[in-house]
Amino acid sequence: MLRKITLLISFLLVVSTLSTTAQVKNVQKEAEQQGTKRINHKIDEGIDSGFDKIEDGIGSLFGKKKKKKKNQPQTEEVSTESESQTAENGIEKTNEPQMDVQWSKFDFVPGDEVIFEDGPDVMEENGEFPSRWDLEQGQVEIAQVNGETVMIFLDGGKIMPYLKNANEDYLPDVFTIEFDYYTPKDGNRLSFYLTDTKHQRSSETQEFEVTPIRVSTPDGNYVQHSDRDYSYYENGCWTHVSLAYTNGKLKVYLDDTRLINIPHYEHNPSGFTIYPYFAKAADDKAFYVKNVRIAKGGVKYYDRVLNEGKIVCNGIRFDVNKATLKPESMGPINKIFELMQKQPDLKFSVEGHTDSDGDDAKNQTLSEQRAKTVMDQLITMGISADRLSSKGFGESQPVADNGTAEGKANNRRVEFVKF
């Protein structure tokens, strides 16, 4: 043992002398020939090599395991230095930061003033052209599908809202558009335009192409739904399309997922046109469209509470004559939830209202059930039950004329009244 120690000390002295000599030699002579950068590299290599040899020698004296060289795969034989990077309880540490990501893929909130609405109405006659629309080309008729009144596109069919001011820009600076459409088995895409292609011919063409799995913008770019592929609609399916425009900012959603988010849309939306070019009744490729709504945007929820003491939501939707929430209702409900989280002293009475269609007593019961459904949803999401109550008013408190489709749409609402 004494002999080994003597040899190690001698080795250390030799290495120290070599390192010092190398540094003097490099600085005085080689710097002039090869440059400072190369000299420093050689010095580093010499010192690293010396340290490795010293460590190996000390390790052999005290029974340490040999440290793995760089770029060699890790095995169970790791050095004490590597072991020091392991956290308590055997959990390996990592330099990657833990990210608390909060991101909503569905933040759509419908406008609060409906300016065009078509279900179509149940009183529309089967086989006739839909009365609230105008036609540019193709063939579109009213039909009943699984008990619901829809528009059926038989031969392409390009339609737009039938409005007195159709040749003008009738879309406000803040608006939303929604509709449901059915893609048939092996069906192709549907197009919609943010212009009236029949009456606003001087306007820019703003065609968006949609399928149940992707959206294509006017410039030809498309965004794919991350959770869907062709198999999603190979046998046909319904899709809810929603669009929100706010002073140049444009978002497009499929069902409950945002796909398009344009911060500065270069065109001016002026109207609305629907055109499923590939619809062919003869080949069993008919498209169906229903629940079309264009609404003027509104004030932020918190500002409404401060100014009016309540929030009026006609974007919370339910199945027909039921209290079952539709998926697109989660946009406004999520906003109410976020508001109540940020304002812990805020309490709401959730109040349901209906239009005048149907029996008074049934409307009263339905409004109560729907209000309770919304309240229960917020409680399920984490809002304390003592901050919420619910009640229904049926058709007794209209805010618009029940004689028009738009008036009925504005009367079918859920209000959040501060208490």
Greater pLDDT, 67 or 146: 146
* Res. 292 pLDDT band, cuts 50 70 90: very high
Q: What is the pLDDT of residue 70?
A: 38
Q: What is the pLDDT of residue 162?
A: 97
- Residue 237 shares a structural domain with residue 308: no
- Residue 148 shares a structural domain with residue 173: yes
- Residue 116 shares a structural domain with residue 264: yes
- Residue 333 shares a structural domain with residue 414: yes
Greater pLDDT, 89 or 344: 344
Crossing angle of helices 330-342/301-308, nearest 10°? 70
Q: What is the pLDDT of residue 302?
A: 81
In CATH, what number is assigned to the domain containing residue 284? 2.60.120.560
Say if residue 360's pLDDT is above 50: yes
Find the mean pLDDT for residues 27-56: 44
* Res. 308 pLDDT band, cuts 50 70 90: confident
How many domains would you assign to the chain?
A: 3
Greater pLDDT, 7 or 164: 164
Q: C-alpha 364: how far from its chain's center?
A: 35
> Which amino acid belongs to residue 160?
M
- Residue 347 shares a structural domain with residue 247: no
Say if residue 106's pLDDT is above 60: yes
Q: Roughly how many angstroms between the first and final C-alpha of the chain, as a whole number?
A: 87
Q: What is the pLDDT of residue 112?
A: 83
Using only C-alpha atoms, the chain has a radius of gyration, in whole angstroms, of 35
Percent of the chain with pLDDT over 90: 58
Name the domain boundary from 83, 116, 150: 83
Domain ranges, residue 25? 2-83
Cα 53 to Cα 65: distance, rounded to the nearest angstrom? 14
Cβ atoms of 362 and 404 closer than 8 Å: no
For residue 262, what are its two tokens? Answer: 């344009």
- Residue 256 shares a structural domain with residue 156: yes
In CATH, what number is assigned to the domain containing residue 419? 3.30.1330.60
Q: Does 353 map to a domain?
A: yes
> Which amino acid belongs to residue 52?
D
Q: What is the pLDDT of residue 25?
A: 41
Name the domain boundary from 83, 117, 145: 83
Cα 297 to Cα 172: distance, rounded to the nearest angstrom? 8
Contacts of residue 122, defined as CB under 8 A and 6 or more positions apart, other chains included, come to 149
Find the mean pLDDT for residues 75-87: 40
Say if residue 22's pLDDT is above 60: no
Q: What is the pLDDT of residue 6?
A: 52
- Residue 73 shares a structural domain with residue 146: no
Find the mean pLDDT for residues 232-254: 94
- Residue 149 shares a structural domain with residue 248: yes
How many C-beta atoms surround the C-beta of residue 343 within 10 A? 12
Say if residue 80's pLDDT is above 60: no
Cα 4 to Cα 61: distance, rounded to the nearest angstrom? 8
- Residue 387 shares a structural domain with residue 246: no
Cα 62 to Cα 1: distance, rounded to the nearest angstrom? 12
Which residue in 416, 410, 392 sits closest to 335, CA to CA? 416
Q: Is 122 exposed, middle or buried (0-12, 13-18, 19+ CB in 10 A)?
A: exposed
**DSSP letter assigned to residue 204:** P
Find the mean pLDDT for residues 157-184: 95
Which residue in 227, 215, 226 sits closest to 260, CA to CA? 215
Say if residue 21's pLDDT is above 90: no
**DSSP letter assigned to residue 386:** G
Say if residue 198's pLDDT is above 70: yes
**DSSP letter assigned to residue 170:** -
Name the domain boundary from 243, 268, 298: 298
Q: Does 123 map to a domain?
A: yes
What is the Cβ-side half-sphere exposure of residue 46, based on CA atoms within 13 angstroms? 18
Say if residue 226's pLDDT is above 50: yes
Find the mean pLDDT for residues 350-370: 96
For residue 173, what are its two tokens? Answer: 């600076």
- Residue 119 shares a structural domain with residue 186: yes
Contacts of residue 359, defined as CB under 8 A and 6 or more positions apart, other chains included, come to none
Span 381-410, pLDDT tens digits: 999 999 999 999 999 999 999 999 999 999
For residue 259, what are its two tokens? Answer: 């796909």
Lowest mean pLDDT among 45-54, 65-74, 253-262: 65-74
- Residue 156 shares a structural domain with residue 280: yes
- Residue 69 shares a structural domain with residue 139: no
